[in-house]
Amino acid sequence: MKNEVHPYSEWIDLANRRLGGQVLSCSDDFFAEMENLIKPEAPVFIDGKYTDRGKWMDGWESRRKRVAGYDWAILKLGTQGRIKGFNVCTTHFAGNAPKQVSIEACNSKTAPDNSTEWTMIVAQQDVNPDSNNFIDCDSAGVWTHLRINSFPDGGIARLRVYGEAVMDSNWFLPGEPVDLAFVKNGARPVECSDMFFSSMSNLIMPDRGVNMGDGWETKRRRGGRECDWIIIKLAGTGSIKKVVVDTAHFKGNYPDGFSLLGITMPEGEHPQETSEWVPVIERQKLTADAEHFYKDEVISGEQTFTHIKLNMYPDGGISRLRVFGFLNTDK
């Protein structure tokens, strides 16, 4: 699913386990566990595989309801955010999918309980069995938890929650530097030259990469442009003070070098590859499987930027990019 194309491809999955997403509770998961809802892998079907409760299914599945009502599951998002759309994926649930779903949301510092006030953000509507069900979300709220309601019962393979993370500014001390390129602070990649082997979204994920597939890697280029590149919308308008480029696990395919550029764009607009970029760090050499730290090399001073562009010479893989600086509080 690394380069899957869908209506919300420009947004991140806020329920992603790598961000800290969790399934907290549900009304019933007799046939298949609630935790499967946010598994990162695409759902699979294994013919002839059964458990002592019935057919093994790769998703969340409740028993057949014999009383009035519906089933539900509560999720904690990996980061608070504004939601643009959902995929209520019922793949492989052909004769056992719910007829309808609705989705509610709340913003809470603690796990929801019986006193939680939920806001309906997706009204009750039909879903198709054995399908990707893409559903727009018009809510402008910032949410931390969701409750998906399944009418009257049945199975959902995956729930993807696409949107933009919103930084929790209360977490930071006055004057504390912020990782402007961190996904949980609201950064997101908007375009890149190539991501043949792995997704550009990996570049700004938490922690160090766990293997070579957990980074941004391009194909081997044979002529054409000078370098591969990626454009990232920063968490906010800010000045850049230090940078970390991590080539963890990239040993025979690390880039020879990189450079970093910045630009300021009006709200809601994104730059192009050929826009008038300002140098932040001139071209630097990289080595295999290592973190590289840059502070004195940052030449952009007090200039502020909304987007950065990382040039990777000539191609290869970078695991993580960290861009520390200060938010412009006037923006």
- pLDDT for position 3: 54
Low-confidence ranges of the chain (pLDDT < 70): 1-4, 330-331
- pLDDT for position 157: 98
Tokens of 203: 């570049």
Kindly report, residue by residue over 108-167, the tens digit of the pLDDT: 999 999 999 999 999 999 999 999 999 999 999 999 999 999 999 999 999 999 999 999
- pLDDT for position 250: 98
| Stated pTM of the model | 0.92
- pLDDT for position 119: 98
- pLDDT for position 331: 46
